[in-house]
């Protein structure tokens, strides 16, 4: 048994754990990261969800999330415009290498993989370390970055698992009384992602074996509403590969999901069934669409005694885990738009919440904007809408995560940094997404490092010092206040972040701060080579624009959706007129039939109807 001592111990190399370890070490803390798998990044890499959702707008491409996008663009010459479920799709091997390289560059960050936690070590109500199969690590601050909140159970740290009734938090979408769905699916269904390959016209891909639990009736009609091409293009990756993470009669699997937190034997049984279920869906795709489609066998490393590897992710995409009972629980009301506005209210510390933070302080530490999305194989539930149209497309209401959601009610020396934050089952549908979990991890890692610097416990940490450290981080400064029109390279970016932290009562309900526009360039991962397309504008409804293209080059006659992630272009698009003749320059996404606009020019000022624009 090897023993190590660290300032900060992060258990779990998933999305949040990886970000936490990177940030703690970058701040100077002696950090140890222990992971089960040889790939870091979790949902973004080892779980195969190489098509992240949320925080897509330029104003929210900050922190480690923004840095990850820029690094992907540099390392993937084919660009990130392949599928239609996300603006960013990539080879998961590239993502895993980015995280591995970042970790390797930090001499004060030790990474140990192939280990799972067996025991949480405590002295009274303080966590002092974790015992693994081959190691014991003692630490001043321990962070739970596991996929299922394993340290919460091992350390007997109070947590939630499952649904809450409306009487508990008064959430408008929570059930008033128990319903059958609560018993059948106590948490959202995981998905074991599989990567498929188009071997080309006339090719015969190796036959996908029939798994033991195969029932093609489960999958009948999976892509009926969309069509085969749109189904395949949903998660299209570079190299004619496809991420199969399909919610409609697809490879979500939740039968007996309670087994994940039962015995080790029960958990392994569930995982094997989930992997077989995904294999069955891949076989169904092959038999229904054609043998030119097979498994992309060379994507994930093959591990001993693991059902994953090859074309199958190393572990499932877990959408929900055990959830900490923290100083504050984030509820559905906290992620919904302000009445008459398009952003959620900022979290404020008030009297009577049992927190040592000063009153009248905004304790936002991470930004999310995804819609509230739940996955149950037997059907959806009705949820209060939290979406808006922006930049020609539908996106989610911006909201924030309070620091108090990372801190236990009573236990010292401990923080959470994954989907295991203190959040209700209903609100988890919006907080579980990859970019936001990166932000949660970055904030937790910074908090842990500051606790070491200030020799204090997480509950004693002054949140303003945490926010300031995040905003001014040398490697990856991150926004903590959602401002839709404030790109991260704007000269007044830091000023307005500071302003609304000091004066949260002035936070604008429309999400726009009073700035002069300054079109951003540097952080935009798409701006490399643009295509110029000439056409007539069709205003379909509010913030819904199309371009009627008549020229044969470069894409031929068709109707394209015009979308943007840039705040200045969003304002320009609002001024478009019906049948206006323009040249739009941007990235053409064939899967989604949209043009991600980077610039718009009056058609009369362009001498050539279609050109390459460097």
Instruction: Please tell me whether residue 363 adopts helix, strand or coil conformation.
Output: coil
pTM, whole model, 2 decimals?
A: 0.94
Could you tell me which of 517, 493, 514, 530 has the C-alpha nearest to residue 572? 517
Instruction: Please tell me whether residue 559 adopts helix, strand or coil conformation.
Output: strand
Could you tell me which of 394, 437, 391 has the C-alpha nearest to residue 416? 437
pLDDT score for 601: 87
Structure tokens at 149: 């909140």
d(Cα 39, Cα 47) in Å, to the nearest integer?
10
Structure tokens at 201: 């016209």
Structure tokens at 354: 């049992």
What is the DSSP track for 163-203?
---HHHH--TTS-SS--HHHHH-SSPPPB--EEEEE--TT-
**Which secondary structure element, helix H or strand E, spans residue 547, and what is its range?**
strand 544-549
pLDDT score for 603: 60
pLDDT score for 604: 53
Structure tokens at 39: 């790939």
Other C-beta atoms within 10 Å of 134: how many?
Answer: 10
Counting other chains too, the contacts that 525-528 makes at CB distance below 8 Å and 24 or more residues apart are 525/61, 525/69, 525/70, 525/72, 525/73, 525/80, 525/88, 526/73, 526/79, 526/80, 526/81, 526/87, 526/565, 526/586, 526/587, 526/596, 526/598, 527/598, 528/73, 528/79
Residue 304 burial (10 A CB sphere; 0-12, 13-18, 19+): exposed
Residue ranges and CATH numbers for the domains of the chain are: 2-162+319-506 (3.50.50.60), 194-295 (no CATH), 530-613 (2.40.50.140)
Contact 511, 343 (CB under 8 A): yes
Residue 592 burial (10 A CB sphere; 0-12, 13-18, 19+): buried
Rg over alpha carbons for the chain, rounded to the nearest Å, is: 24
d(Cα 314, Cα 502) in Å, to the nearest integer?
44
pLDDT score for 357: 52
Structure tokens at 136: 């014991």
β-strand pairing of 364-368 with 194-198? unpaired
What is the DSSP track for 516-545?
------TT-TT-SSEEEEEEEEEEEETTEE
d(Cα 209, Cα 222) in Å, to the nearest integer?
20
pLDDT score for 95: 98
pLDDT score for 87: 97
pLDDT score for 517: 61
Instruction: Please tell me whether residue 35 adopts helix, strand or coil conformation.
Output: strand
Residue 315 CA neighbour count, 13 Å, CB half: 23
φ, ψ of residue 130 in degrees (nearest 5): -140, 140
pLDDT score for 532: 87
**Which secondary structure element, helix H or strand E, spans residue 284, and what is its range?**
helix 264-289
Residue entry with tokens 């798994």: 211
d(Cα 282, Cα 553) in Å, to the nearest integer?
36
10-residue mean pLDDT series, the chain (614 residues): 96 98 98 98 98 97 98 95 96 98 98 98 98 97 98 98 97 96 96 98 97 94 96 97 97 97 96 98 98 97 94 98 98 96 92 53 97 90 92 96 97 98 98 98 98 97 97 98 96 97 96 75 50 91 91 76 96 94 93 94 52 34
């Amino acid at each position: 048994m090897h023993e190590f001592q660290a300032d900060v111990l992060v258990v779990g190399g998933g999305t949040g754990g990886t970000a936490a370890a990177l940030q703690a070490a970058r701040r100077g803390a002696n950090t140890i990261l222990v992971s089960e798998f040889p790939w870091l990044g979790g949902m973004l890499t080892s779980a195969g969800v190489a098509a992240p959702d949320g925080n897509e707008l330029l104003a929210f491409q900050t922190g480690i999330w923004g840095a990850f996008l820029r690094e992907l663009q540099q390392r993937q010459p084919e660009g990130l415009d392949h599928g239609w479920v996300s603006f960013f799709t990539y080879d998961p091997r590239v993502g895993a290498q980015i995280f591995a390289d970042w970790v390797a560059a930090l001499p004060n960050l030790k990474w140990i993989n192939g280990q799972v936690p067996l025991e949480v070590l405590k002295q009274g109500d303080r966590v002092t370390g974790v015992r693994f199969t081959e190691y014991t690590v003692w630490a001043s601050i321990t962070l739970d970055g596991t996929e299922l909140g394993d340290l919460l159970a091992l350390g007997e740290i109070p947590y939630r698992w499952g649904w809450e009734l409306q009487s508990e938090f008064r959430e408008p979408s929570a059930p008033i009384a128990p319903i059958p769905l609560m018993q059948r699916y106590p948490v959202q269904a995981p998905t074991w992602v599989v990567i498929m390959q188009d071997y080309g016209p006339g090719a015969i891909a190796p036959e996908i074996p029939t798994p033991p639990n195969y029932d093609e009736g489960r999958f009948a009609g999976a892509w009926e509403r969309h069509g085969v091409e749109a189904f395949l293009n949903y998660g299209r990756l570079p190299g004619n590969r496809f991420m199969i993470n399909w919610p409609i009669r697809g490879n979500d699997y939740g039968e007996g999901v309670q087994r994940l937190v039962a015995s080790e034997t029960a958990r392994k049984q569930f995982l094997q069934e989930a992997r077989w279920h995904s294999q069955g869906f891949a076989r169904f795709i092959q038999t229904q669409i054609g043998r030119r489609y097979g498994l992309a066998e060379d994507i994930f490393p093959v591990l001993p005694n693991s059902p994953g590897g090859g074309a199958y992710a190393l572990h499932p995409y877990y959408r929900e885990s055990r959830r900490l009972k923290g100083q504050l629980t984030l509820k559905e009301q906290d992620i919904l738009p302000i009445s008459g506005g398009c952003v959620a209210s900022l979290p404020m510390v008030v009297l009577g919440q049992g927190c040592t933070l000063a009153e009248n302080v905004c304790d936002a530490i991470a930004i999310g904007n995804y819609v509230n999305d739940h996955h149950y194989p037997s059907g959806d539930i009705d949820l209060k809408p939290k979406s808006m149209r922006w930049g020609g497309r539908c996106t989610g209401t911006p909201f924030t995560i309070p620091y108090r959601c990372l801190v236990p009610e009573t236990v010292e020396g401990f923080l959470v940094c994954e989907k295991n934050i203190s959040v209700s089952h209903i609100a988890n549908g919006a907080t579980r997404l990859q970019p936001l979990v990166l932000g949660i991890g970055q904030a937790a890692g910074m908090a842990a490092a500051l606790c070491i610097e200030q020799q204090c416990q997480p509950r004693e940490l002054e949140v303003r010092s945490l926010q300031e450290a995040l905003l001014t981080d040398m490697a990856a400064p991150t926004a903590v206040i959602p401002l839709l029109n404030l790109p991260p390279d704007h000269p007044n970016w830091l000023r307005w972040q500071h302003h609304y932290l000091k004066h949260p009562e002035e936070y604008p309900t429309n999400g726009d701060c009073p700035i002069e526009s300054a079109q951003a360039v540097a952080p935009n991962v798409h701006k490399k080579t643009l295509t110029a397309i000439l056409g007539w504008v069709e205003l379909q409804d509010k913030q819904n624009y199309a371009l009627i293209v008549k020229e044969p080059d470069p894409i031929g006659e068709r109707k394209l959706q015009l979308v943007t992630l840039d705040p200045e272009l969003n304002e320009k698009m609002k001024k478009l007129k019906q049948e206006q003749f323009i040249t739009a320059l941007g990235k053409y996404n064939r899967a989604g039939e949209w043009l991600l606009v980077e610039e718009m020019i009056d058609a009369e000022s362009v001498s050539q109807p279609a050109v390459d624009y460097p």
